[in-house]
Amino acid sequence: MIDLLRKTLYMGLGALYMTKEKAEQLVEDLVKKGEVSTDEAKTLISELIQKGEQQKEELAQFIRGEMEKRRFDLGLVTKKDLERLEQRIKELEERLNPPVT
C-alpha cells in the first residue's frame, strides 16, 4: 500500500504542492485507517516533503531556463546589461567632458 501511495504522490505535480501540513494530514488518515504504521508514517511524511521540495526546485530551474531562452529569442536585455551600458556611457562622457579646473 505504501509503495502504491508513494508512486501516486510522486507522479506529476502532486508532491510539488504537498505542504508539510497536508502530508501530515494525509499520512495521519492512513494511520487511522490502519494502512500504515506510525514508524512508516514518519518516514513517509519526510519523503513527501523532501520530494515536494525537490520538484519545486526542478520546476524553478526549468522556468528560469525557459525565461532565459525567451529573453534571448526576443533580444531583451537584462538589468545587468543595462547597468553595464549606463556605466560605460558615464565613463565615456567623463572622458569627453573632463571637469574644468
Nearest C-alpha neighbor of 17 from the set 52, 44, 48, 50: 52
Is the pLDDT assigned to residue 19 strictly greater than 60?
yes
Non-local (6+) Cβ contacts of 13 within 8 A are 55, 59
Distance, CA of 70 to chain centre: 19
Q: What is the pLDDT of residue 15?
A: 54
Question: Would you state the pLDDT for residue 88?
Answer: 97
Total count of residues recorded for the chain: 101
Angle at the Cα of 43 (from 37 to 46), degrees rounded to 5? 140
- Residues of the chain with pLDDT > 90, as a percent, come to 18
6-15, 51-60, 91-100: which has the highest mean pLDDT? 91-100
Kindly tell me if the per-residue pLDDT of 17 is higher than 90: no
